[in-house]
Structure 1
């Protein structure tokens, strides 16, 4: 089924879908049904008659001052938390209840008697409130899973006993047919991932017992608070397993069809970090990276407050409800809704980026319409979907917010076996869990939901090489290493254009519509490795303690390039003490000369550059000593006995005077004194 998400009327939370695409091209009937479903959802009431809003209070506002004052008067510990439902309810004449605390000044609020959008609007008008937004629901689409066929090892092409015959085509090096393949094999020659890197999958949870996920999952957490859509009936707890997200017809909306369980989080987790080289099933992009499952989606989807709380917890920003012992360096969000980036998602992504956490988000599956939230938020790495041939797959959204594009799965044919799906871990259960298996040509994994984890897994490999990378550096490297989109060769397929309200199916990508290019995991990892593979700069000096007036011979002969490279450039400079010394002669050779002109400390810098342009600098500190003071004695006169100089006579006179002063007085003088 082709999913047509839309911004709904302000009387309801914004419904959303996980970015799972259609298994087959949409028929006119399917498109009409999707449009009717979206229209019906737009007129639906607030979920269960409860208005759901996320609110952030202004720093220094009256409400926050009262909270601080209560703590100062010895109030309960909970008084320090921004739980303001009672105060705001009395002020507005509304029945409000406190929801979850999301931050120092942020909380979820619930109300009755008005819609979520109306409550957000009224709260936003309050002087104490920095912002208030609808606690939006997000959902996934099951994707029309059919009969699941158990698989043998799936990585190589030319498969006979399993489908598709091309195996895990999307992980191999690109070729004439699989143009958009991500070249993960190229990255694996450098790294197969590190278990010290954790990628969080914020989704429906996982099936922990899948044999290809054994030993690859941290325990995680279940953040689904609403028992109505939790499907496990126990609210938030430490069990991140997926109980199934099936729903009977009409449960998620009066016109919503029945949905089988999707096992969506299990599929995403497998693409990122399924066990590899274990003789069974599939290979994953991240190979040895660890996966942290965090459950936020259940029956009929999930809500923004659960998702945002889970994001903060997964990234190690929050210890509510418990401390996360395995904070993630990468967060994958294969979910979303339509509309602009809300302040709630904006703030949490900014916090995560500041903490060094990269956030990878699926662009959405609204058939070439604008990228929705949270993929369109600043700081997110939005991922569009490609066909095997490198053109935009019909269902994928597009726009300037997209950072990079990756395979999302496509069938080519309209009937029979799907030719180019993505293969990943799966479960056979239509409602509750069944047997563990893998997706294939008849139970196909298609959608930007599955393009995003290819990027997230690649980021895991990049961080395995250099864990100090910032989110901005990660995004820049992904974009700089991306391969160019293929040129338009089929005139029946148009070029992609800026998104509008009109559907835009398969099209030829540009950098303004589908990101910087096609994901190349091998090139991305190589770029990070190259940044670390810099030459070694070394300075030797004839002395580090010259005397004023000395010249010091400097040499860079001990500098070396990394294997396979040569040093092609040298540059000498004085970085401190330039008034005390100078470089004489050439400053761009392997040797240089330092001339000293005054006493003090001098720092010399050497920069060496190799044939790839990589460079490194080093310094040497020298201390220039003042020239010693030399006293020259006066020469003696001629003759056998020698002549006496004036100083000798002066010394003799002083001695005589002292002797006279020391003689005893006469008796006469003494008697006169009696």
Structure 2
């Protein structure tokens, strides 16, 4: 094969190569552009470019990959529409802007002072998917039976409820007189008067009919129906509005009066309303919650001098215990029977253990011995007048830390198992046995440690469970999916947090760890720094109260009782502990196994159907678990996706709704709210539920009629 050189190529090609080498193309700036995803999940976006570029701003509902490069821009853009879908689900399309900063020119020239720089805005539009349906309620017979030819019994009932009679003549009787009667009406009046029947008033309805107000409707009907000039005489029967605010079939549901506490800050304790406690507290009026139950709070200790906890705690000498033996931990006196959370004027945080104990058992009504500038009534706890007491066991030091050994000993001791500790005075070993065995043990503590490291705690939890105690543990505030221990111990009951969403169901709290061991969720409040929420409707000092959890605490600077808003799975766990104690106190359940089964069977399923890492079996449901009476009966709709996002589309007067949603699987639930917590169709409430999947393959779904039963 002959060798080719430039001189053997066509002259025109050689000239083109020479010109290209001598005159480089001018750099192209990166331009703004618009991208329309339509109903697709994403698209590949490209633009010719010579230079370096970096994506700097992306809306939360869009993902861009890669986020930087050299040369042509070639990125994959994907949409997660649910992250930008408003609560009302009323936006048919979403828009967002991606910002890309660029430096034009060759890689060698990009560092130069004169290198062109700029930013391009790529606007992305996406259509939402559409869900429609109709929410209906069962019909209820509310009016009179107006069928032709009612029998004698029906006629008698109609006559008894009628406001008079309506009579129609066989022929017109002339124009009405000044008195509002015509000749036919005058004839009828005379007939009735002759029979000694009083006629209070009359008015014409047409030229052949009139309404008569008579004392004895039944007698008047009998006489007029015998008159040959009367075509018919019927009762002026009563009709009724067909609004069905509380209908169940053909009956109206009897609704109890909710019991609302009057303590000064009780209105800010929204978790109790979300769990339906006004119905539970009403249920307590019957006196059924009489069986004694102890809840051990293994925590930082408690302030016995808080007036809102007076009489609610087992005291020193009654089983309370301080397991901290290191004098550096704040109280300096080693293991003893006084688990008081120590006071230090330099301490800026409140008492964690006092906060947890208050959620379970804070007193109702007037406090005694309150300080001059303290609240006279404060807050309330879940157990109210039930025969439930808190056993404080101190394992968390003044710095907020606990260790595995102390927690393991505390769990065994709380469950009634004997533990051997060193007496600080005599330096001898002493055996301690809890005189008030805890049916429920609350651990609002934990850490991200390995299962191997946690083994001593898990063994203690297993032993406590075998001894009959239910060990309930905070799932952790790690903002992720890493298991925390001891919550992830096989025998523990891990509790995650939910918070208010503004819709008819709560949502997963962003900080709450989600992993397979999570069994339940309960209100733990919102993180104000990442997901601020003010949906509870309360105000404090003239400002909206954020969705935080309020309970008893201690002011160490002033050395006096106070009330503090805290957030976390530490606040969720004691609410499960309180409900477990109430189940045992009422006698709905008799042991740990039946209590756990009842909690699972009655939980409000949130997020994906069935148990999931975000919510476990769902949010605990106090009313369903305890069989408390209904305090409301309203009809409504809730829509949730598998991640627990909540949507609340408008329902019109005919029950129709349209929701514009992202892709995914959604639970669509129409139901009644019987416990006044605003969540429709919970366990034990009438409900109609369906599951739908929306996406490019099914961009629009009509679920038809939802008829809760």
Query: Taking CA–CA contacts closer than 8 Å with sequence separation of 6 or more, which of the two structures ends up with the larger relative contact order?
Result: 2
**Normalising by the residue count of structure 2, what TM-score does the alignment of the two structures yield?**
0.43
Report the structure, 1 or 2, having the larger helix content: 1
- What TM-score comes out, normalization by structure 1 length? 0.45
